[in-house]
Amino acid sequence: MKINGAAYRSVWVDSTDGRSVRIFDQTKLPFSIVTLKLETVEAVAQAIVTMQVRGAPLIGAVAAYGLALALRVDASNESLEQNAAMLAETRPTAINLRWAIERMLAKLRPVSPEDRLAVAYAEAGRICDEDAAQNESIGRHGLGLLEEIAKRKAPGEKINILTHCNAGWIATVDWGTALAPIYMAHDAGYDVHVWVDETRPRNQGAALTAWELASHGVPHTVIVDNAGGHFMQHGQVDIVIVGTDRVTSRGDVANKIGTYLKALAAKDNNVPFWVALPSTTIDWRVADGVRDIPIEERGASEVTTVTGQTSDGRIESVRVTPSGVNAANPAFDVTPARLVTGLITERGLCAASADGLNSLFPEQERQ
Ligand code: MRU
DSSP notation for 238-265: SEEEE--SEEETT--EEEETTHHHHHHH
pLDDT score, position 367: 60
ipTM: 0.97
Strands 2-3 and 11-13: unpaired
pLDDT score, position 50: 98
Q: Judge whether 51 and 26 are in contact, CB under 8 Å.
A: yes
- CB-ligand 1 contact for 173 (6 Å cutoff): no
- 77-88 and 41-49 are packed helices; what angle lies between their axes, rounded to 10 degrees? 10
pLDDT score, position 293: 98
Which atom of ligand 1 lies at the shortest distance from residue 256's CA?
Answer: 8
Any idea which residues carry the catalytic annotation?
245
What does the buried/exposed string (b/e) look like for 41-59 if buried means 16 or more CB atoms within 10 Å of the residue's CB?
bebbbebbeebbbbbbbbb
H or E segment at 2? strand 2-3
CA dist 258 and 270 (Å) reads: 18
* Chain mean position to CA 139: 14
- CB-ligand 1 contact for 93 (6 Å cutoff): no
Query: How far is ligand 1, taken at its centre, from the CA of residue 164, in Å?
Result: 9
Eight-class DSSP state of 297: B
CA dist 246 and 281 (Å) reads: 5
Q: Which residues of the chain have pLDDT under 50?
A: none
Determine whether the annotation assigns residue 28 to a binding site. no
Contact partners, residue 364, CB within 8 Å, separation at least 6: 249, 282, 284, 357, 358
Which atom of ligand 1 lies at the shortest distance from residue 165's CA?
Answer: 10
Q: Judge whether 18 and 68 are in contact, CB under 8 Å.
A: no
How many residues are listed for the chain in this entry?
367
Query: How far is ligand 1, taken at its centre, from the CA of residue 354, in Å?
Result: 23
pLDDT score, position 342: 98
- CB-ligand 1 contact for 167 (6 Å cutoff): yes
Which atom of ligand 1 lies at the shortest distance from residue 332's CA?
Answer: 8
H or E segment at 43? helix 41-49
- CB-ligand 1 contact for 255 (6 Å cutoff): yes
pLDDT score, position 2: 86
pLDDT score, position 4: 85
- CB-ligand 1 contact for 62 (6 Å cutoff): no
Q: Ligand 1: which residue has its CA nearest to atom 6? A: 55
Determine whether the annotation assigns residue 152 to a binding site. no
Which atom of ligand 1 lies at the shortest distance from residue 94's CA?
Answer: 12
- CB-ligand 1 contact for 172 (6 Å cutoff): yes
pLDDT score, position 131: 98
Query: How far is ligand 1, taken at its centre, from the CA of residue 244, in Å?
Result: 6
CA dist 24 and 264 (Å) reads: 34
CA dist 307 and 203 (Å) reads: 9
- CB-ligand 1 contact for 10 (6 Å cutoff): no
Query: How far is ligand 1, taken at its centre, from the CA of residue 54, in Å?
Result: 7
